[in-house]
């Protein structure tokens, strides 16, 4: 370590592995590591990995000066597993059953038995108070404060850990919610309170209510979780501030995250999409499909114009995993991706019909795949990949972990091959093909819903298992080019260092587009900008570095849903026309046509404010090594899918290859955290960032005629 070292450290806690990255802003040196996730003690692998990374540099935890970023699935798991805090709800009299009435529709029009998840707040814990606001914020009925005191007394007698407050039209006027909060804090100082006017100050009663309840449900756990993690890091001498990845692809400090923890709901997969978008832009590939496959799940995100797709409405804890509307709705900006239970730990089985199925159940980190020799007794995707020769049993995690091929063969033989009357190799190939079909079908649906053709896009693959399966996923989508970055196995953790400090704010402004008072809109945005600036400065950002993105939700009159379009920095008498043109263009792209002559109305104003927290030189971090060796490091027998046979292929070390290197497939390229598999006729080359670019050739692309 030198006196000019300036370290940034990030970690990504996955279901199977915890990925860690240590980056020196001064030298540009990047070191990475994987540790098995410890569900019971998640801080242990973080501390163990950090110490190992620092030891390689001759540094100590006190030398980490800039930032610690964390990504987690904690919030999602609390909701799905229903392990949040017992929650009470205070709402306007007559509206406590909105949680069950929802929007009085079915997510599947023809499924008369369509189910929804049971409300997180039972009816006995939903309390009403007399008050009423009009949709423009006018007080129709003053708040009856005595009823709030009565509600507080009732809550005191219940086993409650958190309180949600959601009043009718509080997005337009939050004075009643603020007054209720003040009374509750005085009467019940130990209970956290979540206000809908702070969590989701937007039109649509049920969605706002659902978001607020979710926030309250997880709030008591988030603060204690991250405070405990910070304490563990401080105990080993690390003094850097902890920042957390949000669902919107930005990071914030623990204090702000603890206030609105629902912002973390889909934070886990967001970092990888952010990194893929950044690297795609650097290599002049702004339109791509981000494909992240780890030990437990696979995530796909469409990146367009150098930015990941963002949605302002999604639902979690779905009864039907792939059907929108079957879960709890959330009104927060979120990186729009699809996630399925397909990872290296996904378990293969024979169902009641005698068919081979893979996932979504996972062996996770404990006991893990059978080949980990940690107690796993079920065949997994990792076991199949080892049998097929795609993984090096002596070089898993750069040789820090040995894989047992004999155990992998044994469980596949016992659980799959013997029951299907086939060889172990054929059974392993079947597992490989089934999981690839599952992931390709999910990606195809996700891209089609965005109105895009996957054949015109590039597949950007990462995660510990992503590069192994990327080529086969691409073939099934009709994609001809795959990009795999250096250190693909920890790419999501790397994305945490690329993410800016960011906050998204919204304000409902319901008005006809032709009647919009744009100076008034500008004033509204100024108030949002001031609030965003305060949040980012508190999180460690600088106003001089603030980047603002303004947008507006608009729709045709009579429609139930809206599209978000960009607004310029300046407002003039042509602003409305520009909004109309952009809306019509977006509408036509999604639905194939637009509606001429139908008036347009605005619903919400949105502001995204961001600023950088540190530097990251992607070119410097991927500089070619001083000593290179572009000859194969060895060879091994692997299963070649399109030839349906095993073949001896050369094996290369990605880190020993320099930019400009060209390799002919079939071949295997090994990283310390992942493995890339290329087939016959493929051409592999390293670009200036030492990404491995695979141009698919040889066999005809499967399903190439299907968009």
Nearest Cα to 308, choosing from 340, 260, 275, 284?
275
- Cβ pair 272, 291 in contact under 8 A: no
Instruction: Give the span between the Cα atoms of 601 and 382, in whole angstroms.
Output: 52
Instruction: Give the span between the Cα atoms of 650 and 663, in whole angstroms.
Output: 10
Backbone angles phi, psi at 672, to 5 degrees: -70, -20
> At what angle are helices 267-282 and 491-498 packed, to 10 degrees?
80
> How much is the average pLDDT of 663-677?
93
> How much is the average pLDDT of 581-606?
93
**pLDDT at residue 625 is higher than 90:** no
**pLDDT at residue 217 is higher than 90:** yes
> How much is the average pLDDT of 253-279?
89
> How much is the average pLDDT of 26-35?
88
Which helix (DSSP H) or strand (DSSP E) does residue 220 occupy?
A: helix 205-235
**Separation in Å, CA 75 to CA 41, 220, 225, 444:** 17, 11, 11, 28
Per-residue pLDDT at 4: 53
> How much is the average pLDDT of 376-383?
95
For the ranges 309-323, 379-393, 560-574, 661-675, which has the lowest average pLDDT? 309-323
> How much is the average pLDDT of 291-304?
90
For the ranges 5-19, 45-59, 295-309, 561-575, which has the lowest average pLDDT? 5-19
Contacts of 328 (CB under 8 A, 6+ apart): 79, 117, 120, 210, 213, 214, 315, 316, 317
> How much is the average pLDDT of 342-367?
90
> How much is the average pLDDT of 650-675?
92
Instruction: Give the span between the Cα atoms of 24 and 5, in whole angstroms.
Output: 6
pLDDT digits (tens, 9 = 90+) for 141-158: 999 999 999 999 999 999
DSSP annotation string for 56-84: HHT--GGGEEEEEEEE--HHHHHHHTT-S
Q: Please count the other Cβ atoms lying within 10 Å of the Cβ belonging to residue 190.
A: 7
Tokens of 227: 């405070």
Instruction: Give the span between the Cα atoms of 36 and 13, in whole angstroms.
Output: 9
Pairing of strands 683-686, 458-462: unpaired
Instruction: Give the span between the Cα atoms of 150 and 70, in whole angstroms.
Output: 41
Which range of 71-80, 136-145, 356-365 scores highest in mean pLDDT? It is 136-145
Q: What is the mean pLDDT of the chain?
A: 90
Radius of gyration of the chain (CA): 26
Count the alpha carbons within 13 Å of 405 in the hemisphere toward its beta carbon. 14
- Cβ pair 174, 201 in contact under 8 A: yes
Instruction: Give the span between the Cα atoms of 285 and 670, in whole angstroms.
Output: 24
Place of tokens 């961001």: 610
Tokens of 329: 């709705």
Q: 576 in helix, strand or coil?
A: helix
Which of 335-366 are b and which e, b meaning 16 or more Cβ less than 10 Å from the residue's Cβ? Answer: bbbbbbbbbbbbbbeeeeeeebbbbebbbbbe
DSSP annotation string for 330-397: E-S-EE-EEEES-STTEEEEE-TTS-EEEEEEE-TTTT--GGGTSS--S-BHHHHHHHTT-S-TTSBT
For the ranges 228-232, 315-319, 355-359, which has the lowest average pLDDT? 315-319
Per-residue pLDDT at 644: 84
**pLDDT at residue 137 is higher than 60:** yes
- Cβ pair 113, 106 in contact under 8 A: no
> At what angle are helices 43-57 and 205-235 packed, to 10 degrees?
50
**Separation in Å, CA 524 to CA 73, 507, 577, 672:** 34, 8, 20, 51
pLDDT digits (tens, 9 = 90+) for 496-546: 998 899 999 999 999 999 999 999 999 999 999 999 999 999 888 877 788
Nearest Cα to 672, choosing from 467, 481, 449, 478?
467
Per-residue pLDDT at 1: 43
**pLDDT at residue 11 is higher than 50:** yes
pLDDT digits (tens, 9 = 90+) for 46-96: 999 999 999 988 898 988 887 667 756 678 778 888 889 999 999 999 999
**Most distant pair of Cα atoms in the chain: their distance:** 80
For the ranges 172-176, 392-396, 430-434, 696-700, which has the lowest average pLDDT? 696-700
The whole-angstrom distance between residue 203's C-alpha and the CA centroid of its chain comes to: 25
Contacts of 582 (CB under 8 A, 6+ apart): 565, 566
Nearest Cα to 268, choosing from 503, 11, 517, 549?
11
Nearest Cα to 207, choosing from 216, 198, 196?
196
**Separation in Å, CA 378 to CA 226, 297, 391, 643, 651:** 34, 17, 18, 28, 29
> How much is the average pLDDT of 536-559?
90
> How much is the average pLDDT of 689-693?
94
For the ranges 110-119, 206-215, 287-296, 478-487, which has the lowest average pLDDT? 110-119
**pLDDT at residue 26 is higher than 60:** yes
Nearest Cα to 494, choosing from 1, 31, 3?
31
**Separation in Å, CA 481 to CA 237, 362, 473, 642, 684:** 45, 30, 11, 17, 10
- Cβ pair 342, 358 in contact under 8 A: yes
Confidence bin at 562 (pLDDT 50/70/90): very high
Confidence bin at 273 (pLDDT 50/70/90): very high
Per-residue pLDDT at 2: 47
**pLDDT at residue 29 is higher than 90:** no
Percent of the chain predicted with pLDDT > 90 = 62
Q: Which residue has the higher pLDDT, 411 or 445?
A: 411
Per-residue pLDDT at 132: 96
- Cβ pair 435, 445 in contact under 8 A: no
Q: List, in order of start, the domains of the chain with CATH numbers.
A: 7-78+224-264 (3.30.420.40), 85-218 (3.40.1360), 501-611 (3.30.1490)
- Cβ pair 252, 501 in contact under 8 A: yes
Per-residue pLDDT at 698: 57
Nearest Cα to 193, choosing from 167, 228, 219?
219
Which range of 11-25, 191-205, 314-328 scores highest in mean pLDDT? It is 191-205
Per-residue pLDDT at 705: 44
For the ranges 69-83, 243-257, 269-283, 290-304, which has the lowest average pLDDT? 69-83
Instruction: Give the span between the Cα atoms of 642 and 323, in whole angstroms.
Output: 33
Contacts of 181 (CB under 8 A, 6+ apart): 165, 193, 195
Which of 100-131 are b and which e, b meaning 16 or more Cβ less than 10 Å from the residue's Cβ? Answer: eebeeebbeeeeeebebbebbbeeebbbebeb
Instruction: Give the span between the Cα atoms of 376 and 364, in whole angstroms.
Output: 10
> How much is the average pLDDT of 216-231?
89
Instruction: Give the span between the Cα atoms of 421 and 426, in whole angstroms.
Output: 10
What pTM did the predictor assign? 0.87
Per-residue pLDDT at 700: 46
Q: 201 in helix, strand or coil?
A: coil
Pairing of strands 667-670, 675-678: antiparallel
């Amino acid at each position: 370590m030198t006196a000019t070292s300036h370290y940034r450290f990030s970690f990504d806690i996955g279901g199977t592995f915890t990925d860690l990255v240590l980056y020196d802003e001064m030298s540009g040196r990047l070191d990475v590591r994987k540790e098995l996730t410890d569900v019971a003690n998640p801080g242990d692998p973080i501390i163990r990995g950090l110490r190992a990374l620092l030891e390689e540099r001759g540094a100590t935890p006190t030398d980490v000066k800039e930032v610690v970023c964390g990504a987690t699935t904690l919030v999602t798991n609390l909701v799905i597993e229903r392990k949040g805090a017992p929650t009470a709800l205070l709402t306007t009299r007559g509206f406590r059953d909105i949680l069950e009435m929802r929007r009085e529709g079915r997510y599947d029009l023809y499924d008369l038995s369509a189910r929804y998840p049971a409300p997180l707040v039972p009816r006995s814990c939903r309390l009403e108070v007399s008050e009423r606001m009009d949709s423009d914020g006018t007080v129709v009925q003053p708040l009856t404060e005595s009823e709030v005191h009565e509600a507080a007394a009732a809550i005191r007698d219940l086993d409650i850990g958190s309180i949600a407050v959601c009043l009718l039209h509080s997005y337009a006027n939050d004075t009643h919610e603020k007054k209720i909060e003040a009374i509750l804090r005085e009467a019940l100082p130990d209970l956290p309170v979540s206000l809908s006017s702070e969590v989701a100050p937007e039109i649509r009663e049920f969605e706002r209510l659902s978001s607020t309840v979710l926030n309250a449900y997880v709030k008591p756990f988030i603060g204690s979780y991250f405070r405990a993690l910070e304490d563990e890091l401080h105990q080993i001498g690390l003094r850097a501030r902890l920042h957390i990845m949000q669902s919107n692809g930005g990071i914030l400090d623990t204090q702000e995250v603890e206030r609105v923890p629902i912002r973390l709901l889909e934070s886990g997969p967001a970092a990888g999409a952010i990194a893929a978008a950044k690297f795609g832009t650097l290599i002049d590939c702004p339109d791509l499909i981000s494909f992240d496959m780890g030990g437990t799940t696979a995530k796909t995100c469409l990146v367009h114009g150098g930015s990941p797709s963002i949605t302002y409405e999604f639902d979690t804890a779905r009864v039907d995993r792939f059907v929108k509307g079957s879960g709890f709705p959330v009104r927060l900006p979120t990186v729009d991706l699809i996630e399925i239970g397909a990872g290296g730990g996904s378990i293969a089985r024979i169902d009641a019909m005698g068919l081979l199925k893979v996932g979504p159940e996972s062996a996770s980190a404990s006991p893990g795949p059978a080949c980990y020799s940690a107690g796993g007794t079920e065949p997994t995707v990792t076991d199949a990949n080892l049998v097929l020769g795609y993984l090096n049993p002596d070089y898993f995690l750069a040789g820090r972990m040995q894989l047992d091929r004999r155990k992998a063969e044994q469980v596949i033989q016992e659980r799959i091959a013997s029951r299907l009357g086939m060889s172990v190799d054929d059974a392993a190939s079947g597992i490989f093909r089934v999981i690839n079909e599952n992931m390709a079908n999910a990606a195809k649906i996700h891209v089609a819903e965005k109105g895009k053709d996957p054949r015109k896009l590039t597949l950007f693959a990462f995660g510990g298992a992503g590069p192994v399966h990327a080529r086969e996923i691409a073939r099934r989508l009709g994609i001809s080019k795959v990009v795999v970055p250096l250190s693909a196995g920890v790419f999501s953790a790397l994305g945490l260092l690329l993410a800016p400090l960011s906050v998204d704010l919204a304000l409902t402004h319901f008005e006809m587009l032709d009647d919009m008072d744009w100076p008034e809109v500008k004033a509204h945005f100024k108030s949002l900008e001031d609030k965003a600036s305060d949040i980012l400065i508190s999180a460690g950002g600088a106003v001089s570095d603030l980047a603002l993105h303004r947008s507006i939700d608009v729709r045709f009159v009579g429609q139930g849903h809206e599209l978000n379009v960009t607004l310029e920095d300046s407002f003039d008498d042509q602003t409305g026309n520009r909004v109309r043109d952009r809306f019509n263009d977006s509408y036509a792209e999604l639905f194939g046509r637009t509606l001429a002559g139908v008036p347009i109305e605005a619903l919400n104003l949105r502001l995204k404010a961001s600023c950088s927290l540190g530097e990251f030189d992607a070119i410097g971090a991927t500089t070619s090594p001083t000593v290179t060796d572009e000859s194969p490091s060895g060879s091994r027998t692997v299963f070649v899918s399109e030839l349906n046979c095993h073949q001896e292929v050369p094996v290369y070390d990605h880190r020993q290859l320099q930019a400009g290197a060209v390799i002919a497939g079939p071949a295997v390229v090994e990283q310390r955290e992942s493995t890339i598999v290329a087939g016959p006729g493929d051409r592999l080359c390293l670009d200036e960032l030492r990404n491995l670019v695979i141009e698919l050739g040889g066999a005809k692309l499967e399903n190439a005629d299907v968009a």
